[in-house]
């Protein structure tokens, strides 16, 4: 690093996290001849927020994050933000697929893993909210594999540890999306 001459760089990116990595990858696609310098103050890259064991690591596609579907004052649940977030994630997957197909990065199985996404709530009001959230989203192809239940037996199948010891008189609700939408080919 001592003899690094950043004055000869076409782009200098400060910080070696996912933001710089993504921008550098995009710039390289657009300007393959560019000399891109990434400056990182730590001993290694991706050790701050972008470390999967710190903050990053979960691709948000609004399948389970309730904050993307706030309830309006009239009780309606708008799908707009959730759809926008999911679409952004699909664009990310398309970009990663492009990088894989062009041998820029390795086996996607080593960096992306699809897992079922669940939301769980309890209480009458929350269960009603989740039902309306499901209704608002399920018509969209990005969310059409999302199932909804208020049944304890179904919850026990989906999430045994969450259901264990829970009184069957309790009002509960859950949604579960098994995997990513079928319309995309990335893992």
Q: Per-residue b/e over 28-51, b at no fewer than 16 CB within 10 Å?
A: eeeeeeeebbbebeeeebbebebe
Task: Compute the least distance from the CB of residue 51 to ligand FAD, in Å.
Answer: 7
Task: Compute the least distance from the CB of residue 111 to ligand FAD, in Å.
Answer: 13
Cα dihedral 112/116/122/127 (nearest 10): 110
Closer residue to ligand FAD, CB minimum distance, 51 or 128: 51
Interface with ligand FAD (CB under 6 A): 14-20, 39-42, 47-50, 55-58, 60
Closer residue to ligand FAD, CB minimum distance, 49 or 84: 49
Taking the C-alpha atoms of residue 106 and residue 122, their distance in angstroms, rounded to an integer, is: 42
Task: Compute the least distance from the CB of residue 35 to ligand FAD, in Å.
Answer: 18
Cα dihedral 153/138/71/129 (nearest 10): -20
Taking the C-alpha atoms of residue 122 and residue 69, their distance in angstroms, rounded to an integer, is: 17
Task: Compute the least distance from the CB of residue 103 to ligand FAD, in Å.
Answer: 24
Closer residue to ligand FAD, CB minimum distance, 65 or 128: 65
Closer residue to ligand FAD, CB minimum distance, 48 or 151: 48
């Amino acid at each position: 690093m001592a003899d690094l001459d950043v004055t000869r760089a076409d782009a200098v990116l400060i910080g070696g996290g996912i933001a710089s990595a993504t921008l550098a990858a995009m710039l390289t696609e657009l300007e393959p001849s560019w000399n891109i310098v990434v400056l990182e103050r730590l001993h290694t890259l991706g050790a701050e927020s972008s470390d999967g064991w710190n903050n990053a690591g979960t691709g948000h596609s609004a399948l389970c994050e309730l904050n993307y579907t706030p309830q309006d004052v009239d009780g309606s649940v708008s799908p707009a933000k959730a759809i926008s977030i999911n679409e952004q994630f699909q664009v990310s997957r398309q970009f990663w697929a492009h990088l894989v197909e062009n041998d820029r990065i390795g086996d996607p199985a080593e960096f992306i893993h699809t897992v079922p996404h669940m939301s769980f709530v309890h209480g009458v009001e929350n269960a009603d909210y989740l039902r309306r959230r499901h209704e608002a989203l399920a018509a969209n192809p990005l969310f059409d594999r999302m199932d909804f239940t208020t049944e304890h037996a179904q919850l026990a199948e989906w999430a045994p540890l969450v259901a264990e010891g829970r009184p069957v008189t309790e009002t509960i609700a859950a949604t579960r999306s098994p995997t990513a939408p079928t319309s995309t080919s990335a893992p």
